[in-house]
Amino acid sequence: MTKALIIGGGIAGPVTAVALQRAGIESVVYEAYRANTGTAGAFLTVAVNGLDALRALDLHRPVMDMGFSTRTIDLVSGTGKRLGVIPIGGVLPDGTTTHTIKRADLYRVLHEATQSRGIEVQHGKRLVEAEVLANGGVTACFEDGTRATGDLLIGADGIHSRTRRIIDPAAPDPRHLGLGNVGGFTRTAAVSMAPGAYVMTFGKRAFFGYVVHPSGETWWFANPPSAPTMRRRDLVAPTSDQWKARLIDLFADDAGPSVEIIRSTPELVGGTDQYDLPRVPRWYRGSMIIIGDAAHAASPSSGQGASMAIEDALVLAKCLRDLSEPAAAFTAFERLRRPRVERVVAFGARSSSNKAPGSVGRVIRDLLAPFFLKLIARQSQDWLFGYHVEWDDRVRLGERTR
């Protein structure tokens, strides 16, 4: 039986392990962190296309049970002007909608799935090097001095992927998007929205969004301006109170409940910069390949990061199931996935640029936004949300994405 070494235990790694198991391929997941803290972000959306892909692995229900349905985004300006409403993915034939879930809960659900199916996950295993062997296999070397050998290595280690650099030392660095990401959870009388509908504000100096959980708790995020300085691990991270003071100042002149939401939040989560990867020229070399954010990270504004990783996992497992040689499987995977994921990355980059357009651009955006939102509402979003991976279909070398 083929054995895969999966680097990364976030979203793409565990889903890939489950998909490979269904394809008859053994795997071990190697996670750099010692515990599944899920503190890289407060919450995220799993779009209907991501939930549809999880259905093939019988993982969609536990993810949906831990999250809640979110169908629309109500966009407003910093002055309080309502710009329009856009849907988040529509509704699948069985009634499935896009769901919002805490990142920590999503991590936990996926790792419980690997445990219940007997898939090994090793923690504290940070990849430092990998070598393709003469027999076509691969050896991974970890920071703690241990090694692991398998038939192939799958890098699901995120936007700052070490695997990407091992495959191609000239691989591009992530592109800084000029925005940060911070958020939290609170209960406040300042919000009276019904559950499940996002409200997002194009503030005068920063972008703010919130949604109400069915319990009445408000989940929120902010995208303050951010400039690349040095590696984050070299910085002294601001405290929660320092973040709150900065955000309250940024949103002080905006209409709406953003300041009260921030002020009432006990502890803020996140405080990271936003990046994307417009194009990674090389996804694989020999028996090593990258997937998910390691290969094609989209801005969080796309709402598709988790879903793209889930789709990748399913498609790669199919390719490895149906094509006996890794080189053939990797070639087919890239042909099937690259056009779609790069379109999603471009879509996310456009969405991010609208969040911080400058003073003149902000006025123009707010004037034209209602027109463009009506236009978007009339256009089909099937290319984004209607993507379906049919597990039982066989993969052929010349097949292209649909």
Residue 130 near residue 287, CB atoms below 8 Å: no
Is 313 part of any domain? Answer: yes
User: Kind of pairing, strands 3-7 and 26-31?
Assistant: parallel
Query: Which DSSP category does 402 fall into?
Result: -
Residue 380's pLDDT is 59
CB atoms within 10 A of CB 398: 6
State pLDDT tens for residues 159-205: 999 999 999 999 999 999 999 999 999 999 999 999 999 999 999 99
Asked if 107 contacts 36 with a C-beta cutoff of 8 angstroms, the reply is yes
The DSSP result for 97-117, as a single string, is B-EEEEHHHHHHHHHHHHHHT
| CA dihedral sign of residues 117, 107, 122, 3 | positive
Query: What's the half-sphere exposure (Cβ side, CA atoms, 13 Å) at 149?
Result: 6
Question: Can you state the percent helix, strand and coil of the chain, rounding each to 5?
Answer: 35, 25, 40
With a cut of 50, list the residues of the chain below it in pLDDT: 38, 230-231, 233-234, 360-361, 364-365, 378, 401-402
pLDDT score recorded for residue 350: 87
Could you write out the DSSP letters of every residue in 163-222? HHHHH-TTPPPPEEEEEEEEEEEE--TT--PPTTEEEEEE-SSSEEEEEE-TTS-EEEEE
Q: Which domain holds residue 377?
A: 3-175+276-385
Half-sphere exposure of 194 (CA within 13 A, CB side): 7
Answer whether residue 169 is part of any domain. yes
167 lies in a domain? yes
In a domain, 18, yes or no: yes
In a domain, 318, yes or no: yes
The verdict on residue 107 lying in a domain is: yes
- Would residue 286 count as lying in a domain? yes
Provide the pLDDT for residue 38: 47
Can you give the CATH number for the domain in which 95 is found?
3.50.50.60
Residue 336 within any structural domain of the chain: yes
CA pair distance 245, 376, nearest whole angstrom: 36
> So what's the pLDDT on residue 351?
84
Q: What order do you get walking across the sheet with 82-87 strand by strand?
A: 82-87, 72-77, 197-202, 207-212, 218-223, 175-186, 269-276
362's enclosing H/E stretch is: helix 359-378
Q: What are the structure tokens assigned to 323, written together?
A: 């094509």
Number of domains in the chain: 1
In this prediction, residue 397 carries a pLDDT of 75
d(CA 315, CA 49): 13
Instruction: Return the DSSP state at 285.
Output: E
Which run of H or of E encompasses 77? Answer: strand 72-77
292 contacts: CB under 8 Å, gap ≥ 6: 8, 10, 11, 12, 156, 158, 308, 309, 312, 313
- Rounded to whole angstroms, what are the CA distances from 61 to 50, 99, 196, 303? 12, 11, 18, 20
Whole-prediction pTM value?
0.92
